[in-house]
Amino acid sequence: MEKTERQKLPVLAIDLGGTKIITAIISNSGQVIAKDYQLTLADESSQSVIERISSAIDHLLSLRNIDSSQLASISIAAAGAIDFNKGLVTSSPNLPGWNDVPLRDIVKEKYRVNTFLLNDASAAALGEHRLGAGSGVSNLIYLTVSTGIGGGIIINGKLYSGQCGGAGEIGHMTIDVNGPRCNCGNIGCLEVLASGTAVAKEAIRRIRQGERSSINEMVGGKIEDITADKVGAAAQEGDSLALEIVSQAATYLGVGMVNLVNIFNPEMIIVGGGVSKMGDLLLNPARQVVKERAFQLSAQVVRIVLAHLGEDAGVLGAAIFAFEQESD
């Protein structure tokens, strides 16, 4: 098949996160034709997760009654440090045991179609830049605040991947050198202080210590069932403990943004991921930290906004990445 003909075919895009796997068939105009959800169940082996990815691919192909040969390519956006050139998930704090997993080649070999692998937050950055909140913006940073914290960087309208595809690990900048240990092995990362997982852990810790909160009633006394969503809901209702925890996470997030603003001088920082559903409850304290701590000129220029594409940002960005790679 000629290159121009292949470019008209859809891409099958996969967003592999620490909590869920979203798989979608996406047309070359950016339309989501079909979509599938699976739980990642990341604590199981990498092989089990890969089998679930294959199951999702097979389900979508059968749903649309097409064969993998009728795809332009498969594009995988995965949580973790990616070696783009070798197609490896080299490590992933939220995918335990994923060390140098050749995910690109495993999928390529099974489905006999050109396959790409990139970081999930980088993919989401690309999606938001081309189709979402960052449309028309030349220089932006995308932050996903969810199970973990990831990032993607757009410079002069192009995704910045670094030397080997590892750029944008914003969640693993050190915020507190004496802080708690992160899943990545480092100390005091932004992720361990401000992610959804961090918010839930802090609420669990403080309630177990005897502090009172409506969160306890929300989970029927099952403290281990507390999630960031529950903390956010309690905060929206004015619960003082929940408001304190969200404010603390937002402050750490703001400190991370100060570093980004001072280093990159972006026009926009886009915040997505599940925790971003807290909206201004999360963003306003972060904006205030940027206003107080970042260099004045850069702080005045940057807009800190919510993402527009929701959970589709990763699969749309992965598809866009594949279409653009194929057209080069």
114 and 34, same structural domain?
Answer: yes
319 and 281, same structural domain?
Answer: no
150 and 9, same structural domain?
Answer: no
pTM across the whole model: 0.92
Q: Where are the alpha helices (DSSP H) in 33-113?
A: 46-63, 103-111
Tokens matching residue 188: 């005091």
Phi-psi region of 33 (alpha: psi -120 to 50; beta: other; left: phi over 0): alpha
189-244 tens-digit pLDDT: 999 999 999 999 999 999 999 999 999 999 999 999 999 999 999 999 999 999 99
Residue 169 CA to residue 121 CA, distance in Å, equals: 9
Q: Which residues pair with 305 in a beta bridge?
A: 270
Tokens matching residue 184: 């990545």
Q: Please state whether beta strands 115-119 and 303-306 pair in parallel, antiparallel, or not at all (unpaired).
A: unpaired
Strand order in the sheet with 20-26: 32-39, 20-26, 11-16, 73-78, 115-119
139 and 113, same structural domain?
Answer: no
**pLDDT for res 214:** 96
Identify the DSSP state of 23: E
Give the count of domains, the chain. 2
323 and 234, same structural domain?
Answer: no
In the predicted model, is pLDDT for residue 170 greater than 70? yes
285 and 140, same structural domain?
Answer: yes
179 and 296, same structural domain?
Answer: yes
Q: Which residues pair with 24 in a beta bridge?
A: 13, 35
174 and 101, same structural domain?
Answer: no
245 and 228, same structural domain?
Answer: yes
117 and 239, same structural domain?
Answer: no
In the predicted model, is pLDDT for residue 271 greater than 60? yes
- Nearest partner of 267 among 139, 100, 112, 90, judged by Cα: 139
309-328 tens-digit pLDDT: 999 999 999 999 999 988 76
Other C-beta atoms lying within 10 Å of the C-beta of residue 179: 16
Residue 33 CA to residue 72 CA, distance in Å, equals: 14
The domain containing residue 278 runs over which residues?
A: 135-307
Q: Residue 93 in contact with residue 148, Cβ under 8 Å? A: yes
Residue 243's CATH number: 3.30.420.40
